[in-house]
Amino acid sequence: MALAQSKLAVATAKPVLVAYGSTGPLVQDSPSLSPVWVDTHAKTFVVGFVWLYQDNTCRLYPGQQGISAIRAPLHGKVFFTQENLTNPPGSWCAGHTYLYWVARYTWTDADETTLEDPVTLQSTDVYQGYTSTDNYSFAAMFAHIVADPVAASGSNAQGTQQDVANSNLIDPPQGAARYTWTMTGGAGILAFSNGAPSMTTTTSTAPVVSLNGASDTINVSVTVSYPAGSNSLSYGPGKYTYLGSQILFGGNIVSSTDASSPPPTQDVVVGQDINMTTAPPPPGYTISSSTWTIGGTSNCTDGTCIGDYSPSKSGATVIPIDSGDLTDETALELYWVYPTTSKVPVTYKYCVNELPAPNNCSPTATAYFNVTGPTGGNMSFDPITSKFSIPSLTACSNPSMSAGPYLEFGNILAGSSCPGGISRAYAVGITFNSPTGYSNTAGGAFSITQLVNSDVVNGACCTTGAKLDFLSISLPANDTPGLYLPAAATLVTRNFTANTFLMWQSSTTNSIPVPLGYRTWNFYGSASCSAVCSVASSWTPKVLKLPDSNVFLTPSVQSLTPIQLENNVDVDGYPTW
């Protein structure tokens, strides 16, 4: 603060005005406006007035003194107080402390496009009928801190920081030599470009960096220093919110918002549960919208990945990824079904309600996934080449099956009518061999699931349509379909067709099976009775058609469009029922 003395005194008995100003010597009754830099937070000192005797005794003049605004502010508020101030060296009555009338100013207008507010103050002293007045005009200059977001410029020399904003002091005081910046909040998340919560600059700008991509809110203040011997002015705090965007997988941050510094690619396998979450916005902010993308613009509409597949005896359905999974969701769960030839980008971005556009949306976080899985192999089938048989099998309680003669696909001697109950056989009906030639199968297991395409029976019970035959059987495996021959029948035929799907499932947590291929196979046979039809030896089997031998898998088709396998439906290579 500087000091000036009035030119009004005309006699030693009259008072003299001593005035403190905030930016330099004051000129009373001047039409020019002295600039005083203010902000929206502090009650910034503008001027202090005191009336003294002009006789060099440094006594307070005894009149009734005061201060008022004769030209009121339009964009702020003036506060009048009394404060003890000490006159500086070289001023009138230097070293003496007086109770000054003080004017302070705070900018209150929400409109930040106006940067100047002219005000005129009047100091008065009334004593024994004599009134002394002095006017002081000033322009409140709106110095305020604004953080302007910047485009990502890549990691700096420390390898982890990314420029996200410039903290600017708008309309800074004239003649400033140094700016000392400080921030509160954002510990470990946001900092100045030196990686610290404080820094000094010679300009009115301080870069703000993100340390890890997370969201947070900071308050930035700055103290403006002038050349040696001058006072400092402080401004702020100015609030800045960084809408960080992060994708987490397995509890770890796997994304980056900086295209020039991509994150490490995540190695995953087909069928693995890819359950991604995101970091929340800063406290006090609510998400108005969010968007995910998978693989650029495809978003798995080509069947590369799906939302779920949970087969059970009651049914199995492929759940695709749809638009509802990709919009207004803070988490995304998916399963890749097929290996990829290159890394797949997954992105996430959100916007909030509390900030105006265009600064109300986060940067786009991108994670990359490399998807591997079994490729290059096959599975062979070994069907019996010449034989149906009619053994006498014992009853089964679950499922309920009668005891008696059965038409069996295979050379069967004895056993139970329960599924897998054959105890003696020269040859089973068909063997599904363990797959060979597949790469990238470590940490997983093969199985087969079989759907009945059609089972047409004449002369006995019962003709059936498409249904599940068995689910997730380990390999190698056998199948010997059998049909009960009732005592009342004399001629029974059976035409059986099935689709057998080879599946692979990784050992990762919550994984699902993925399809590798299928084979359609068929047999057709008959049995005729010559005597007592409740006795197996009274029946004679006949081969009408056997499955083709040396037939391998038809590879699974990557498509969410249902494919009809006669009466069965294949979706993205998966058996459905």
**pLDDT at position 143:** 85
Write down the pTM of the prediction: 0.77
Residue 132's beta-bridge partner residues?
Answer: 125
512 close to 310: Cβ distance less than 8 angstroms:
yes
| Cα of 340 vs its chain's centroid, Å | 23
Distance between CA atoms of 528 and 542, rounded to whole angstroms?
8
60/101 same-domain check: yes
Q: Are residues 295 and 317 in the same domain?
A: yes
Among 372, 397, 424, identify where a domain stops.
Answer: 372
Least confident range from 108-112, 192-196, 206-210, 522-526: namely 108-112
Q: Which two tokens stand for residue 14?
A: 């009259």
Question: For residue 329, how many other CB atoms are within 10 A of its CB?
Answer: 16
Give the residue numbers spanning the domain of 390. Answer: 381-576
Query: Within this chain, do residues 291 and 354 fall inside the same structural domain, yes or no?
Result: yes
pLDDT in tens, 269-296: 999 999 999 999 998 999 999 999 999 8
Distance of CA 245 to the CA centre of its chain: 6
Do 558 and 417 belong to one domain? yes
Domain count, the chain: 4
Domain C-terminal end among 91, 118, 142: 142
Domain end marker among 341, 372, 403: 372
The reply to whether 307 and 396 lie within a common domain is: no
DSSP H or E run through 551: none
Please state, in angstroms and as integers, the Cα–Cα distance from residue 461 to each residue in 313, 399, 454, 536, following that order.
22, 15, 14, 17
β-strand pairing of 76-86 with 97-107: antiparallel
Which H helix or E strand runs over 299?
Answer: none
Could you tell me which of 404, 439, 409, 417 has the C-alpha nearest to residue 522? 409
Same domain membership, residue 489 and residue 565: yes
Domain harbouring 322, CATH code: 2.60.40.10
The one-letter amino acid at 172: P
Residue pLDDT, tens place only, 183-208: 999 999 999 999 999 999 999 999 99
Nearest to 75 by CA among 171, 175, 217: 171
CATH code for the domain in which residue 203 is found: 2.60.40
pLDDT tens per residue, range 308-347: 999 999 999 999 999 999 999 999 999 999 999 999 999 9
Is residue 433 located within the same domain as residue 550? yes
Same domain as 276, residue 226: no
| 417 & 523 share domain | yes
Q: Are residues 461 and 557 in the same domain?
A: yes
Strands 266-269 and 381-383: unpaired
Residues found in the chain: 577
Tens digit of pLDDT for each residue in 462-506?
A: 999 999 999 999 999 999 999 999 999 999 999 999 999 999 999
Tokens 């439906």 -> residue: 569
Is residue 471 within 8 Å of residue 483, measured between CB atoms?
no
On whether both 460 and 565 belong to a single domain, the answer is: yes
Do 170 and 258 belong together in one domain? no
